[in-house]
Chain A
Amino acid sequence: MKEGGHWDKGRQVGGADLSVIDHPPQVEWQGLDRTISLDSVDGVPDATVERWEELTAAERLSANLQAYRVFQALLGEVLEKQRTHLTPLDTDFHASIQSMLLQVTALAYQLEELLALLRHSEPPWEAAGPEDRDHRSFFEMKLRGLKVLQELAHWTVRSVRDLHQVTKHSQGSNTAYGGQAQE
């Protein structure tokens, strides 16, 4: 029985699969309605930020990198829970999560490279990852999995914007720098 989300290998932004947020709200995720409130789930990086326009390139890239580092751990957790408890037979679904985990890892690596390229300092690894309680109810596992995937989708959208912004700034500074050099 296939009951995982529908993981289209479709639109990809910043290396992450956006098909999750492309689903219409009536799609159920392991019996959960997509309209369900996930505010109670904590430990998942939130893509929303105040005064987004005022962020510097370094802040943007650092925030992205930190988020994707957390998502690496979260996706691993989600995959393990799905394999062990929730969808033991749905190997296709597991393969999709695995694929996404690889893409998130690759994106994080590229962000590290970008930070180094732009001579920004890399944010430190946060020692404490997401809280992994010994026992979560199955319902909490489902909610957490849904929240992780949802926020990951939001982060991919934000990353696209952030990277656009960074690109714009860097081009501007390059131009300025070039202009100064000419002078």
Chain B
Amino acid sequence: MRNSYASQKTPQDLSDSLDSLLSYVKNSLCKNTILPNKHGILIPFTPQILSLSPDFASYTLYLKWNDSGSVFPYDLDASWQIQILRKETMETDTLVTYNSKLTGKDTVLSWNWTSDMPLECTSHYVKIRCYINELLFAGRKEWSEWSPIKTVPGNDTVPNSAVVFPQDKVVLVGSNVTFCCLYNEGESIKFMKYGSKDYPLLHLSKWSSAIKVENVSASIPSGSNVLCSLQPDNIAGAVLFVGYAPDIPENLSCETRTFINITCSWNPGRPTELYRQRQTKYILFERLSREKVACGVVEMSKKHRCDFPVHVNQKIYNFTLSASNPIGQTESSLSIDINQRVHLETPDKFTVSTNSSTNAYLSWYIPGNLIQIRLLCQIEISNSNSGRQLQNVLVTGAENSNYRASVDALTPYTTYTFRVRCSASEHFWRWSKWSVERKLTTLEAPPARGPDIWRERSPVRGTLKIFWKPLLLSEANGKILAHEVSCYLQETMLKAHEVTVPLNSTELKLGGNDCLISVVAKNRAGSSPPSTITSVDIPSDNVKTEQAIPTGNGIYLSWHSDPNVTCGYTVKWCCSTGSEPCNVDWETFPSNTTNVLIKSALFQPGVRYNFSLYGCKHNGYQLLQNIVGYMKELPPKVAPNFTVEETSSDSILVKWEDIPVEDCRGFLKGYMLYFAKGKRGTSKPSYFEEGPPEVTVKNITDLTIKSLRILDLQGKTSYRLDLQAYTTGGMSPLKSLYVVTKENSVGLIIAILIPVAVAVVLAVVTSILCYRKREWIKETFYPDIPNPENSKALQFQKNICEGNTALKTLEMNPCTPNSVEVVEARSIVPKIEDTEIVSQVADSELPEDGSDTETENHVVVSYCPPIIEEEISSPPVDEPVGSSQVIYIDIQSMYQPQVKAEEEPEINLLSTAGYKPQMQLSINAMKMESQSPTEEDLDKTAGYRPQANTNAWKLSSPDSPISIESNNENGSFGSPCSINSRQFLIPPKDDEDSPTPNNTGWSFTNFFHSKPND
């Protein structure tokens, strides 16, 4: 506009126009216009507000004013500044600029503004000013004066009861909401709460305060409360509902069921959290008919529905579904051809009927005006035997009508279940729901065929037993009531009688005749075709028994083809259940069959079945073969019974018995015999724990063998024997026996006799050798004792034997025999031999003996070398001094004399008897004189005195009869000195006249000494 204006005007024109404008401004436009100087200042007129109207519900102010455009002859751009003030203090809340174009005529401009708080909360003030944006004007352009203020008074200006704004407002979740509380003079505000939370107060005016709640969350169905508590005791409040705008309706779908209504359904989407008056309202609008329907929906349902009426002659419907609530509005559209959206109602009043054995008639009702469509209906026929069949029928639509169909090719006397559903045939949309189910049983028909029959000669002569199998339900065509059995001889009926169910066998007395037997099954509808069989049996010889092959699910039989068999083979068997007599069963096969798999629900694993194979020949039936078999072989049920017949030291004879057939549970293949060393009581035989090396296994596969001798066993040994039978199905349980082999007596005898004989022979040889070499032995081990008189070794000298510790017994000391006096006192005490010096002390040391020491002469037997009592220091006074200085000790007994001074008289007596060794006590007459015999001395004199330094020896035996008081003088028996001296003291052999020592002690020497005497 401006460009065209500029292009059309010449500079002169422009100058004229400006002048004109100025003159207008100056003269006519506004009296308020200020034009201060000649350069020109463009100050537009002061605008006037025509109206300011509030909409309290939407917090909106509507402002109207006149732009006075008519004062300008041409278009001009104008700007308007609008200022909104509020609160008591008239604070500027908003300042906006509104641009418009002055078009040369007066135009009322309008502008609206929405407040963030209810307009009731406080007064709102509006003023406006103008600015003319004339580009060609070179002078200064300024805003006009502000218009007079227009006011929208708040409710806080007049005293009223306390109240909170906004009341009952509905807002979107997440909004910011300002609440104000108005109160009266004399009241003051204590607090304001939203929900349970206090908010800071914003002072609006003397009687108005506000709070600002940001980002409000969804409220409970009864709304969130705003509470304003006032001083003194008063409250005001409001409820805020916070929710969501409605979602766009999802999955909008429309269809008709009856051609009366179109039902549209949809999913409302997210719940709005708003209820009742605030809940979403749905309106279904059809654009072609321009008809709308308000939809009443159940708030909480997940699927909403709405019905729209079908219009006659209208096929296409363009639907718009709008959803709205106080927060927002959405919509969804759908266009449909009603004939393509037919979803029929569920067929009702469904009935089925029949008047034959193969047909059924069905009828059902479907509501609705279906004249304009054809119906495709689906009939479901289900039967426990044949399963489920579907049959489609086409029917012409009608208005609220019954529809009919028939079903044929049904099986007689069978119960069927029918149901039906329908849809529009031309434009399939959806099937209706299935109708209820109806059952129907077709009528009976005569049995389709005659029963399978078999016959058997009974043991009773002349009687034929006839068996037949019940017909299958599908063959019986009804309930079989009876079977008619007849016997024909060349088309002449000999006998006939009827057998009612459930019997499936009968007997005919033929009396030796043969005939053709006919069996007919009968039901209410009629009789079956007859089944015939001849009664003739062809004799057979040499019938073999074969074994069948178990297959797990049946029994496999095979046979050799017989060219004479013309009318098939029949396999007959008998299944026994428990104690009842077995049920005869049979199967017939064509003549070219040579193997069959017989299956029966009655077959059980591990049970033996006997089959008979008959061949049907032109003149009768002949038994061809017997077959035994198992459906499945199992391990034998029991262990074979076995016993030990005979045992020897190295063998066992074992015998066993056959397992009964019913316990075999399979074809017996053999026996396993295990034997190993083992004793009763051990938990397991060793061969199970220690493996094969310990056990011997014998597999007996020859079933005719019933005994076995086990060889190469050890005598007197316990063996464990285990026997088990086995079939292809597995091993039977074990049966165990413990056997102890017999002892090997010859070996034992030999084992005892040989050592004894060897011992005897050795003893004899030794005796002979010893006897022959006795001289040598004696000389070697017991040489002659030299004569003590000639022995220098025994010429002890006191000074030598006592003083020199290094002195050896065998040293030939220069003892002069002259100094030894041998006193022979044998005559005085001739009976005492091998004596010992007995003293009181010795007696007192052996009290256990209990013998009378006073009167009895002790003969103490002990190993003791001869001792030379060096100091027999105190002979009794009455002892004849010097009469006897030498003590003789039995050299053979090697006793140690225990010398005591008090016993000196007796000693003397004793010492005079028996053997006198070549010892000399150096008589110390001087001592006897000088020393009075004290007890100490006496003690000292007692005991053994070796011929050497006694200090070097130690006690060798605790039995030594040594006085405790005698300290160092006491010696030990068995000193080397004594032993060596004994060798010298053995008397020579030829001293047989010497007194034989009567020694109670045992001495090895006695053996040799006494031997010659023996």
Say yes or no for B520: interface residue by CB 8 A criterion.
no
A32–B225 CB distance below 8 A: yes
Given contacts A37-B234, A139-B164, contact A31 B220 (CB under 8 A): yes
Contacting residues, chain B, for A88 (C-beta < 8 A): 221, 275-276, 299
A30–B277 CB distance below 8 A: no
Contacting residues, chain B, for A89 (C-beta < 8 A): 221, 275, 299-300
A70-82 interface code vs B (CB 8 A; 1 in, 0 out):
0000000000000
Say yes or no for B832: interface residue by CB 8 A criterion.
no
Given contacts A137-B168, A138-B168, contact A87 B225 (CB under 8 A): no
Say yes or no for A85: interface residue by CB 8 A criterion.
yes
In the complex, chain A residues 55-70 whose Cβ is within 8 Å of any chain B Cβ: none
B221–A37 CB distance below 8 A: no
Contact segment of B135-143, B235-243, B705-713: B235-243
Question: Once bound together, how far apart are the Cα atoms of A87 and B275, in whole Å?
Answer: 9
Say yes or no for A54: interface residue by CB 8 A criterion.
no
| A21 nearest CB across to chain B (Å) | 20
B222–A142 CB distance below 8 A: yes
Interface size on A, residues (CB 8 A): 23
| A33 nearest CB across to chain B (Å) | 7
A137–B233 CB distance below 8 A: no
Question: Once bound together, how far apart are the Cα atoms of A37 and B231, in whole Å?
Answer: 12
Contacting residues, chain A, for B239 (C-beta < 8 A): 137-139, 142
| B180 nearest CB across to chain A (Å) | 14
A83-99 interface code vs B (CB 8 A; 1 in, 0 out):
01111111000000000
Question: Once bound together, how far apart are the Cα atoms of A90 and B223, in whole Å?
Answer: 14
Given contacts A37-B235, A39-B233, contact A142 B276 (CB under 8 A): no
| A68 nearest CB across to chain B (Å) | 27
| A145 nearest CB across to chain B (Å) | 10
B237–A143 CB distance below 8 A: yes
B167–A137 CB distance below 8 A: yes
In the complex, chain B residues 164-203 whose Cβ is within 8 Å of any chain A Cβ: 164, 167-168, 195-196
Contacting residues, chain A, for B237 (C-beta < 8 A): 139, 143
Say yes or no for A8: interface residue by CB 8 A criterion.
no
B215-227 interface code vs A (CB 8 A; 1 in, 0 out):
0000011111111
In the complex, chain A residues 19-54 whose Cβ is within 8 Å of any chain B Cβ: 28, 30-33, 36-37, 39-40
Q: Which of B167, B220, B300 contacts A30 (CB 8 A)?
A: B220
Determine which residue in B164, B224, B227, B299 has the highest number of CB atoms from chain A within 10 A of its CB, and name it. Answer: B227
A85–B276 CB distance below 8 A: yes
Say yes or no for A3: interface residue by CB 8 A criterion.
yes
B221–A139 CB distance below 8 A: no
Contacting residues, chain B, for A138 (C-beta < 8 A): 167-168, 222-223, 238-239
Say yes or no for A1: interface residue by CB 8 A criterion.
yes
Interface size on B, residues (CB 8 A): 24
Question: Once bound together, how far apart are the Cα atoms of A179 and B985, in whole Å?
Answer: 155
In the complex, chain B residues 260-292 whose Cβ is within 8 Å of any chain A Cβ: 275-277
Instruction: List the B residue with the shortest CB-CB distance to A138.
Output: B239
Instruction: List the B residue with the shortest CB-CB distance to A86.
Output: B222
A1–B220 CB distance below 8 A: yes
Contacting residues, chain A, for B222 (C-beta < 8 A): 3, 30-31, 85-87, 138, 142
In the complex, chain B residues 619-665 whose Cβ is within 8 Å of any chain A Cβ: none
B224–A31 CB distance below 8 A: yes
Question: Once bound together, how far apart are the Cα atoms of A139 and B179, in whole Å?
Answer: 14
Question: Once bound together, how far apart are the Cα atoms of A32 and B196, in whole Å?
Answer: 9
| A178 nearest CB across to chain B (Å) | 52
A139–B167 CB distance below 8 A: yes
Determine which residue in A31, A40, A85, A86 has the highest number of CB atoms from chain B within 10 A of its CB, and name it. Answer: A31
A31–B221 CB distance below 8 A: no
Contacting residues, chain B, for A3 (C-beta < 8 A): 220-222
| B276 nearest CB across to chain A (Å) | 5
| B425 nearest CB across to chain A (Å) | 45
A87–B221 CB distance below 8 A: yes
| B617 nearest CB across to chain A (Å) | 89
Question: Once bound together, how far apart are the Cα atoms of A36 and B234, in whole Å?
Answer: 10
Contacting residues, chain B, for A86 (C-beta < 8 A): 221-223
| A61 nearest CB across to chain B (Å) | 33
A142–B225 CB distance below 8 A: yes
Determine which residue in B224, B226, B227, B235 has the highest number of CB atoms from chain A within 10 A of its CB, and name it. Answer: B235
| A174 nearest CB across to chain B (Å) | 46
Contacting residues, chain A, for B223 (C-beta < 8 A): 31, 86, 138
| B486 nearest CB across to chain A (Å) | 80
Question: Once bound together, how far apart are the Cα atoms of A1 and B275, in whole Å?
Answer: 12
| A112 nearest CB across to chain B (Å) | 35
Instruction: List the B residue with the shortest CB-CB distance to A83.
Output: B276
Question: Once bound together, how far apart are the Cα atoms of A39 and B730, in whole Å?
Answer: 98
Question: Once bound together, how far apart are the Cα atoms of A179 and B866, in whole Å?
Answer: 148
Question: Once bound together, how far apart are the Cα atoms of A142 and B227, in whole Å?
Answer: 12
Contacting residues, chain B, for A28 (C-beta < 8 A): 196
Question: Once bound together, how far apart are the Cα atoms of A138 and B238, in whole Å?
Answer: 7
Determine which residue in A88, A89, A142 has the highest number of CB atoms from chain B within 10 A of its CB, and name it. Answer: A88
| B274 nearest CB across to chain A (Å) | 11
Contacting residues, chain A, for B221 (C-beta < 8 A): 1, 3, 86-90
| B90 nearest CB across to chain A (Å) | 30
A36–B220 CB distance below 8 A: no
Given contacts A30-B220, A31-B222, contact A36 B168 (CB under 8 A): no
B238–A137 CB distance below 8 A: yes
Question: Once bound together, how far apart are the Cα atoms of A86 and B225, in whole Å?
Answer: 12
Question: Once bound together, how far apart are the Cα atoms of A137 and B226, in whole Å?
Answer: 12
A36–B277 CB distance below 8 A: no
B288-305 interface code vs A (CB 8 A; 1 in, 0 out):
000000000001100000
Contacting residues, chain B, for A30 (C-beta < 8 A): 220, 222, 225
Question: Once bound together, how far apart are the Cα atoms of A12 and B299, in whole Å?
Answer: 36
Contacting residues, chain A, for B235 (C-beta < 8 A): 36-37, 40
Instruction: List the A residue with the shortest CB-CB distance to B238.
Output: A139
Question: Once bound together, how far apart are the Cα atoms of A31 and B224, in whole Å?
Answer: 7
Question: Once bound together, how far apart are the Cα atoms of A39 and B195, in whole Å?
Answer: 21
Contacting residues, chain A, for B196 (C-beta < 8 A): 28, 33
In the complex, chain A residues 110-142 whose Cβ is within 8 Å of any chain B Cβ: 137-139, 142
Contacting residues, chain B, for A33 (C-beta < 8 A): 196, 227
Question: Once bound together, how far apart are the Cα atoms of A137 and B225, in whole Å?
Answer: 11
Contacting residues, chain B, for A1 (C-beta < 8 A): 220-221
Question: Once bound together, how far apart are the Cα atoms of A138 and B233, in whole Å?
Answer: 21
Question: Once bound together, how far apart are the Cα atoms of A39 and B167, in whole Å?
Answer: 20
B195–A84 CB distance below 8 A: no
Instruction: List the B residue with the shortest CB-CB distance to A39.
Output: B233
Question: Once bound together, how far apart are the Cα atoms of A142 and B168, in whole Å?
Answer: 12
Contacting residues, chain B, for A139 (C-beta < 8 A): 164, 167-168, 225-226, 237-239
Instruction: List the A residue with the shortest CB-CB distance to B278.
Output: A85
Question: Once bound together, how far apart are the Cα atoms of A89 and B225, in whole Å?
Answer: 19
Contacting residues, chain A, for B275 (C-beta < 8 A): 88-89
Contacting residues, chain A, for B238 (C-beta < 8 A): 137-139
Instruction: List the A residue with the shortest CB-CB distance to B224.
Output: A31
Question: Once bound together, how far apart are the Cα atoms of A143 and B224, in whole Å?
Answer: 13
Question: Once bound together, how far apart are the Cα atoms of A84 and B226, in whole Å?
Answer: 21
Contacting residues, chain B, for A37 (C-beta < 8 A): 233-235
Determine which residue in B220, B224, B277 has the highest number of CB atoms from chain A within 10 A of its CB, and name it. Answer: B220
Question: Once bound together, how far apart are the Cα atoms of A143 and B239, in whole Å?
Answer: 11
Q: Which of B167, B226, B227, B299 contacts A36 (CB 8 A)?
A: B227
Q: Could you list some 20 contacts between A and B, CB below 8 A?
A: A3-B221, A28-B196, A31-B225, A36-B235, A37-B233, A37-B235, A39-B234, A86-B222, A86-B223, A87-B221, A89-B275, A89-B299, A89-B300, A90-B221, A137-B168, A138-B167, A138-B223, A139-B164, A139-B225, A142-B239
Known: A31-B224, A88-B221, A90-B221. 10 other contacts (CB 8 A): A3-B221, A31-B225, A37-B234, A37-B235, A39-B234, A85-B276, A86-B221, A88-B276, A137-B167, A138-B222
Q: What is the interface of chain A, defined by CB distance below 8 A to chain B?
A: 1, 3, 28, 30-33, 36-37, 39-40, 84-90, 137-139, 142-143
Q: What is the interface of chain B, defined by CB distance below 8 A to chain A?
A: 164, 167-168, 195-196, 220-227, 233-235, 237-239, 275-277, 299-300
Q: Which 3 A-B pairs have the closest CB atoms?
A: A138-B239, A86-B222, A139-B237
